[in-house]
Chain A
Amino acid sequence: MQNQALWSGSRKFQKLKESVVTRILLFCAGVSVLTTVGINLILFLESFWFFKEISVSEFLLSTNWAPLFEPRHFGVIPLVTGTLSVAFGALFVALPMGLGIAVFLSEYASPKLRAVVKPMLEILAGIPSVVYGYFALTTITPFLRSISESVEVFNAASAAIVVGIMVLPTIASICDDTMTAVPKSLREGAFALGAKKFEVVSQVVVPAALSGILASFILAFSRAIGETMAVTLAAGATPQVTLNPFEGIQTMTAYIAQVSMGDTPHGSIEYQSIFAVGLLLFLMTLVMNLMSQYIVKRFARRYE
């Protein structure tokens, strides 16, 4: 009856301890709510001061962004188009490649090969974005410039390619997961009807996994929009609306980084402008993320 010594029957003390611990842990969970509240509060508050000086319509509709020198202009469109051109360019690179890799991993690769390739993709996902910025500036840009003289040192194409490489693992791994989750019976049914493998993939597996694939695209797009360091290094700091991907542009994130690197006094209009741009960025990524979560929930097919 040695164990009896361990038995402390004090229920009251236990109950007290239990409630204290639960409250501490509840507080931990509450920190995440405080973070959300903090982000919203700060972005809206500082933007509020900004929009007292600059009207919302001027901010959203005018196409001249010149915040640092007189005469100042705060039309955010050049930053938005810069951001979108990099993000769409990144998807242009990452969509076909990511989907191709996912098909290869889930349908064609042997388990052994898969066990080698997948960790390598994870390495690609784990490389910090500043390293990708270095890669863009020292490898991709010189490569583009060796093809054509007209490519500027800082250009949107180089940034788009490197961001594409960054979001590639996101697309590949989510698509791979959803395609692996498609039940075997569907594939076997198609094979039994005489379909070749690529027919099974393109007409059975991909349609069945479409919700996950779509969600991964949107998620990748939102990541591309929020990406900062690589874009700041590779795309330059020339806010302009252009369709030429080989010219320099500036993205929203790059502008925020640029201002915060300088000595901008707290309370000045430039300082407030980064919060207005940040608010827009936050809302854009929020909508995308919610959309991708909604698609996964709403359109996910459940197989038994």
Chain B
Amino acid sequence: MSQASSPTVPVVASKNQKNRGGETLENPKFIPNHSGRRMREYAFRAVIVSATLAALFILIVLTVNVFKQGLPWLDQQFLTSFPSRFPERAGIKSAIWGSVWLGGFTLLFSVFFGVGAALYLEELAPKNRINRILEVNISTLAGVPSIIYGMLGLTLFVRIMAFERSVLAGGLTLSLLIMPVIIIATREALKCVPDDIRLGAAALGATKWQAVRDHVLPAAMPGVLTGIILAMARAVGEAAPLIMIGALSYVAFVPESAFDAFTALPIQIFNWTSRPKEEFHALAAAGIIVLLGFLLVCNSIAILLRLKWKDHRR
């Protein structure tokens, strides 16, 4: 515990020594300077409290602005119409359905591969070099910018596999994007399951996989689900990789198969925001309300799951 003493605790005394050059270490005259230091304490508090308030203020300004602009445009016509050159006729029907299709594919692929990879790495993999490399690889993948995943999707799914600019290509791209997130969250949840459960199952003759399937995974489920939901929330709001695979186009129909072209909520919002006309900004705001509403539902479910999990463990 030598480190415990290393931070510069006795600074109050030493500073005063420096100020009064004639003193020796054996005879420091301690100047408490109470009022000055108290003032600095208050100033410091004011600074950090205002930093926190500023962040909350930004959140409020953002929400209020979006609602002020978008709410008048948010009606049934907006939800059930296709995009249009005329703001008063434009809507987000194709964007909503596009996002639903994308979300479905993303959920399917990313949960299967993400949870599978996490189960392997955390429960079944021998602790050898190859698996350590796998781990480093996953944490590195989590930091790759989303637009790079878009380039991968463009080349791999759109061109090489020839899925064209379809909702399937989009879903696969987003799956790759959020897989590391799901893997990391699932592993964290699995780590929290006490070893007693694994040992107990093994003692009763269960194989490793039986123990994982019947006991460990169910015990980790709330954490796993929380991770999946948060990752999905990210996928649904993501626009850059979809733009890379060429999803930014005028789509006035609802996708009916995996190979149909699509648009999605964030892309439609981007499209409207990038237009100079004021009315389209209002449409973008209305779209944002729908998107944020969806994300809010996702996050609330995640928080509820987390709370339930905490109760469960106690």
Contacts and interface: CB of A to CB of B under 8 A. Distances in A.
A261 B243 contact: yes
Interface in A31-49: 31-33, 35-36, 38-39, 42-43, 46
A43 B151 contact: yes
Given A138-B65, A208-B7, A196 B38 contact: yes
A33 B55 contact: no
Contacts, number: 273
Report which residue of B55, B61, B112 has the largest number of chain A beta carbons within 10 angstroms of its beta carbon: B55
24 contacts: A18-B208, A25-B119, A29-B125, A32-B183, A42-B151, A97-B51, A103-B48, A120-B55, A122-B299, A127-B295, A128-B237, A128-B238, A130-B270, A131-B62, A134-B285, A135-B62, A135-B65, A137-B281, A193-B13, A195-B11, A196-B38, A228-B146, A274-B151, A293-B139
Interface of A: 14-15, 17-18, 21-22, 24-29, 31-33, 35-36, 38-39, 42-43, 46, 96-97, 100-101, 103-105, 108, 117, 119-124, 126-131, 133-135, 137-139, 165, 168, 172, 183, 185-186, 189-190, 193-199, 201-204, 207-208, 219, 222, 225-229, 233, 253, 256-257, 260-261, 266, 274-275, 278, 281-282, 285-286, 288-290, 293, 301, 303-304
Contact of B141 (A15, A32, A195, A198): A32
Given A195-B12, A228-B145, A108 B48 contact: yes
Interface of B: 1, 3-5, 7-13, 32, 37-38, 40-41, 44-45, 47-52, 54-56, 58-59, 61-62, 65-66, 69, 112-117, 119-121, 124-125, 134, 137-141, 143-152, 154-156, 159, 176, 179-180, 183, 207-210, 230, 233-234, 236-240, 243-244, 246, 248, 266, 269-270, 273-274, 281, 284-285, 288, 291-292, 295, 299, 303
Given A29-B117, A29-B120, A203-B7, A38 B156 contact: yes
A256 to B, nearest CB: 6
A225 B145 contact: yes
Nearest to A292: B143
Contacts of B40: 196, 198
- Which 10 residue pairs of A and B lie closest in terms of their CB atoms, listed nearest first? A226-B145, A128-B237, A28-B116, A100-B51, A25-B120, A289-B143, A198-B44, A228-B240, A29-B117, A28-B117
Given A203-B8, A229-B240, A278 B154 contact: no
B148 to A, nearest CB: 5
Given A31-B117, A129-B239, A293-B139, A253 B270 contact: no
A22 B152 contact: no
Contact of B207 (A14, A35, A127, A135): A14
**Chain A binding site: helix, strand, loop or mixed by DSSP?**
helix
Contacts of B115: 28
A127 B240 CA distance: 14
A120 B281 contact: no
A120 B37 contact: no
